[in-house]
A and B are shown apart, each in its own frame.
Chain A
Amino acid sequence: MEIKVLGPGCANCHKLEELVKIALKELGIDAKVEKVSEIQEIMKYTMSTPGLVVNGKLKHSGKPLPDINKVKLLLKESA
């Protein structure tokens, strides 16, 4: 699974990255989380950060952040 967290480096982007890592651990999925902070790369997917992209597909964008259960759900449907 290919996971990207999109965000220029704001507090919410870090929070989302942490959530994704915890969710992966709890789900027992071994996948690398790539942090994307370059604006050109972010713009390929969304205008609202933070964004979560799984296997090239945008799963979440903007605030408020999804909670841990929602993140798990989003990851599971792509697994």
Chain B
Amino acid sequence: MLKKFADYITYTLLKLEPTSHLGDALNFFIYDTLKIFLLLTTIVFMVAIIRAYFPPEKTKRILSHKREYIGNVMAALLGIITPFCSCSAVPLFIGFVEAGIPLGVTFSFLISSPMVNEIALIMLWGLFGWKIALIYTGTGVLLAIASGIVIGRFKMEKYVQDYVWETKVGNMEIVQTSFREKVEYARDYTVDLLKKIYPYVIIGIGLGGIVHGYIPTELVVKYAGRDNPLAVLVAVLIGIPLYSNAAGMIPVVQALVEKGMAMGTVLAFMMSVTAISFPEAVILKNVLKMPLILTFFGIVTVGIIIVGYLFNAIL
């Protein structure tokens, strides 16, 4: 139905040739924009309702007294649904540490929470299909679990800022809300989020349309294809400064995949965009000393690069 609508606008209303670059690019743009916003609105709303049942205080309660392994697994899974933004990373970190949650388990949460987020999932599902979205989620969770376990093994407690251990945490209450209030929360959350990301989505889909219509396949295959061994490395490095722009990046990447970019490279790129960011490092500097921050980002980066090469080999 959306396809028909996009065809109608481009080919009937605007009388563009289906074979022309412009017609092709515009058709692609209209169809993708409609599809993505429809998916974003419905799924973000549903996820927000689930999230309303898992405030960080509750996650903290569930994770306290959890040991290595089981703790890492639960932390990575809860990271998917617990609302988290890097601006509240500091109180969250202190709260976790205070509740006796092991450092490695806390990191599993801190890695999974930004990486496996609903926006990345919806965009991947909408543009690449459910299989790729599922692979991204599964790999992201596994990476968060593994990285958390490794960081935990390094026994880096002394690289947590000293005041964190001295902070006394009150008996945090959870504000009780009715179902109606949860629906209102979900509605506000969805509106807030759409307002924040819609320019990136539109620009991203526009750029994707340009790639789709104008960039030659040979060029993409040569630089981002399976046979360029450096592609994963470069993609991960490019992804680091593109923090939080998953919504804008996915449409561009999707167009590149159609032209021959390898899937493992795509997954590594997406993970680097969502999981590694300079602003987050700056914020975490408030609670972590440099060696621990570097270890954290180092392990995650290496993990993502491995994921990239692995999927390039098997997909």
Contacts and interface: CB of A to CB of B under 8 A. Distances in A.
B119 to A, nearest CB: 15
A47 B56 contact: yes
A28 interface: no
Contacts of B92: 47-48
Interface of A: 8, 10, 12, 39-40, 42-49, 57-65, 67
Interface stretch (B12-20, B169-177, B301-309): B169-177
A58 B56 CA distance: 14
A67 B189 CA distance: 12
Given A44-B170, A62-B83, 9 more contacts: A39-B167, A43-B170, A45-B172, A46-B172, A47-B172, A63-B83, A63-B189, A64-B191, A67-B188
Contacts of B212: none
Interface string B249-279: 0000000000000000000000000000000
Contacts of B172: 45-47, 58
Nearest to B189: A64
A43 B167 contact: yes
A12 B90 CA distance: 16
A55 B227 CA distance: 65
A64 B192 contact: yes
B314 interface: no
23 contacts: A12-B87, A39-B90, A39-B94, A40-B168, A43-B167, A43-B168, A43-B170, A44-B170, A46-B172, A47-B56, A47-B88, A47-B91, A47-B92, A47-B95, A49-B88, A57-B173, A58-B172, A58-B173, A60-B175, A62-B83, A63-B85, A63-B189, A63-B192
Interface string B80-123: 00010101101110110010000000000000000000000000
Contacts of A61: 55, 175
A52 B85 CA distance: 18
Interface in B162-193: 163, 167-170, 172-173, 175, 185, 188-189, 191-192
A62 B88 contact: yes
A44 B192 CA distance: 28
Nearest to B287: A39
Contacts of A47: 56-57, 60, 88, 91-92, 94-95, 172
A49 B87 contact: yes
A63 B88 CA distance: 10
B85 A42 contact: no
B91 A42 contact: yes
A36 to B, nearest CB: 12
Contact of B167 (A40, A45, A57, A63): A40
A39 B185 contact: no
Nearest to B94: A43
B87 A10 contact: yes
A48 B91 contact: yes
Nearest to A57: B173
Given A43-B170, A58-B173, A61-B55, A48 B88 contact: yes
A54 B175 CA distance: 12
Nearest to B84: A48
Nearest to A52: B175
A62 B57 CA distance: 11
Best-surrounded residue of A40, A59, A64 (most CB of chain B within 10 A): A64
A68 to B, nearest CB: 13
A62 B85 CA distance: 10
